[in-house]
Amino acid sequence: MALQSLDITRRSASPTASPQARKTIEIAKLIDVSTCIGCKACQVACSEWNDIREEVGHNIGVYDNPTDLSADAWTVMRFAEEESNGKLEWLIRKDGCMHCADPGCLKACPSPGAIIQYSNGIVDFHQENCIGCGYCISGCPFNVPRISKKDNKAYKCTLCSDRVSVGQEPACVKTCPTGAIQFGSKEDMKDVAATRVADLKTRGYTNAGLYDPQGVGGTHVMYVLHHADKPEQYSGLPKDPAISTTVQLWKGWLKPLATIGIAAAGLFGFFHYITVGPNRPDDDDEHAAANPAAKQEDKA
Amino acid sequence: MKEQLIQRYSAAERINHWIVAVCFILLALSGLAFFYPAFFWLTGVFGTPQLARIIHPFVGVIMFVAFARQFFRYWHHNLINSEDIRWMKSVKTVLSGHEVGDTGKYNGGQKGMFWLMCACMAVLLVSGFIAWRPYFAGYFPIPVIRLALLAHAWAATGLIAGIIVHVYAAFWVKGTIRAMVEGVVTHAWAKKHHPRWYREMTGKQK
């Protein structure tokens, strides 16, 4: 933890800067949707490595199980059946935290050090500081964090920050049998993605592309999509994700306005009292109240 | 001469007021802690940050219920009439220490404050329930929760600024705090600040 603490870029609810001397390499996980076979080995690996067990659910008619992210399921495969140009496409996406460069969860979090962003790009929750307010859920443009019913604290994918910090790849990457999930420096992953996109284009996927949305400053989990023009097809992956305007107004604009408003009320009172002075009824003048315009003596 | 007093607030009204006031202070401090990172330490009013997050909404409900009792006590005293409009337009004269108009139980400023508090309390209650974890927030879509959090912060800011003015006004107009502590005001106070109410209470013409 000692050296790791030097690699923190940002910390929730902390107005002053984190240590900036060291700069580590920016990493990324690349998920190639076009080579994913939907085996869910990544879900199992995540569950095993992190020692979290979601309850065994019920079959709801599609392959999705668990059907949603939870405090005990940090990644889930989402299976979408899309019909276009007269053919059925089975679009499978491994959903989970995108590790945004500009994380909405961190912006919204009110508790110092409950959410931290490492200089390698990983956004991590430190549950010991989490107060369970759920602001991170409101801040996230991807609907990822979940509050645990057991302890009312927020959980999500850590990008296996513990493994990465000792030079290993995340558990899901290690276990993926088709190589659809890769891990490395963000630059390298962009190169890999470019090769994959070029290949997909030769195979007729003219809109193939890399999903690294700039509205959140880019992400440290990226997708290769065969239909990068329609990310919504992949179980609602947002087209242009950004921190919501409502959250920006709340966490950005309102703070200085509220400060000015509250300070103005306090300062007005102070200066009014030391200039105008107290307002006392004048006991001697019986007519003071009857004559509203009567000049009032301020002397005690 | 023994000072002549008029009862302005009964014991029940005073207790009611101070329940709201104490709740407000606890809520404002813990709320500011959630809003301003630099004031996060104010969560200490409830022991720990986690406890503050848990307790804040419950205290909010107590404040709302107690305030609702006040609303039904006072709303009919706070209907705004032409005298109050005159008062509001002459607020500069009032602030220089002069009385304006034939004021009843409450002046235009107090009435305006009453309705501001009512509006803020209503917004705080509704938005507070929408954002309340783990009990209620799960029933609302995330964009609605975002709006609730924004509205909650706005209304809280309005209420805090309003209460600062409310407290200052009580401190500035000497003899006012006594009304909410001992329940009484002097004849001179009533005659000067609330002449119409003074006549109603004493039956005097002057």
Backbone angles phi, psi at A283, to 5 degrees: -65, -30
Closest CA to B128 of B60, B43, B62: B60
CATH code of domain A4-243: 3.30.70.20
Would you tell me how many other CB atoms lie within 10 Å of the CB of residue A203? 10
The pLDDT profile of chain B, 206 residues, written as one tens digit per residue, is 678 999 999 999 999 999 999 999 999 999 999 999 999 999 999 999 999 999 999 999 999 999 999 999 999 999 999 999 999 999 999 999 899 989 999 999 999 999 999 999 999 999 999 999 999 999 999 999 999 999 999 999 999 999 999 999 999 999 999 999 999 999 999 999 999 999 999 987 76
- Mean pLDDT over the full length of chain A: 91
Could you confirm whether domain A244-300 is CATH 1.20.5.480? Answer: yes
Residue A217, pLDDT score? 97
Q: Which domain holds residue B189?
A: 5-202
Q: How many domains does chain B have?
A: 1
Question: How does pLDDT run across A142-184, given as a tens digit for each residue?
Answer: 999 999 999 999 999 999 999 999 999 999 999 999 999 999 9
Contact call for residues A36 and A235 (beta carbons, < 8 A): no
Please judge whether B198 and A289 are an interchain contact, meaning their C-beta atoms are less than 8 angstroms apart. yes
Which among A269, A281, A292 has the least Cβ separation from residue B168? A269
User: How far B149 CA sits from the closest chain A CA (Å)?
Assistant: 7
State the Cα–Cα distance between residues A189 and A182, nearest whole angstrom.
8
Question: How does pLDDT run across A37-75, given as a tens digit for each residue?
Answer: 999 999 999 999 999 999 988 899 999 999 999 999 999
Closest CA to A120 of A171, A75, A158, A156: A158
Query: What CATH code is carried by the domain that includes residue B174?
Result: 1.20.950.20
Here the tokens at position A168 are 């290993």
User: How far B8 CA sits from the closest chain A CA (Å)?
Assistant: 16
Which among B133, B172, B198 has the least Cβ separation from residue A147? B133
State the Cα–Cα distance between residues A98 and A214, nearest whole angstrom.
12
Question: Does A286 have pLDDT greater than 60?
Answer: no
State the Cα–Cα distance between residues B116 and B164, nearest whole angstrom.
13
Residue B54 with chain A: CB contacts under 8 Å? 132
Residue B181, pLDDT score? 97
- Based on the residue annotation, tell me whether B77 is a catalytic residue of this protein: no
- Mean pLDDT over the full length of chain B: 95
Question: How does pLDDT run across B35-49, given as a tens digit for each residue?
Answer: 999 999 999 999 999
Question: How does pLDDT run across A117-138, given as a tens digit for each residue?
Answer: 999 999 999 999 999 999 999 9
Among residues B17, B56, B152, B166, which one is catalytic?
A: B166
Token pair 């404002």: residue:
B28
Which among B38, B101, B174 has the least Cβ separation from residue A280? B174
ipTM, two decimals, is 0.91
Contact call for residues A11 and A164 (beta carbons, < 8 A): no
State the Cα–Cα distance between residues A297 and B74, nearest whole angstrom.
32
Question: Does A283 have pLDDT greater than 60?
Answer: no
Contact call for residues A70 and A96 (beta carbons, < 8 A): no
Backbone angles phi, psi at A225, to 5 degrees: -115, 140
Asked if A4-243 and A244-300 have one fold, the answer is no
Residue ranges of domains in chain A: 4-243, 244-300
Nearest CA in chain A to B137: A134
